[in-house]
Chains A and B, each alone.
Chain A
Amino acid sequence: MRIVAAAALLLAGTTMAFAEKQRDLGAHEHGVGQLNIAIEGSEIAMELTAPGADIVGFEHPAATEKDRARIGAAIEALKKAQDLFRLTDSAQCNVISAEAELLAADEGSHEEHDHADHHEKHGHHDDHHGADRDDEHDGRAHTEFRAEYAFSCAAPAQIREIEFGYFDTFPNAQELEVQLISDLGSRGFEVMRDAPVLDLEGAI
Chain B
Amino acid sequence: MKENTAINAVQLRDVSFTWTGRSPFRLDIEDFSIASGETVLLLGESGSGKSTLLSLICGVIAPEQGDIQVGGTRLADLSSGARDQFRANHIGVIFQQFNLLSYATALDNVLLALHFAPERRGRIGNPRAEALRLTDALGLPDSLVINAPASALSVGQQQRVAVARALIGAPALIVADEPTSSLDADAQASFLDLLFAQAKEANSTLLMVSHDERLGARFDRLVDLGNVAHVERGQAA
Q: Direct contact between A and B in the complex (CB less than 8 angstroms)?
A: no
A residues in contact (CB < 8 Å) with B: none
B residues in contact (CB < 8 Å) with A: none
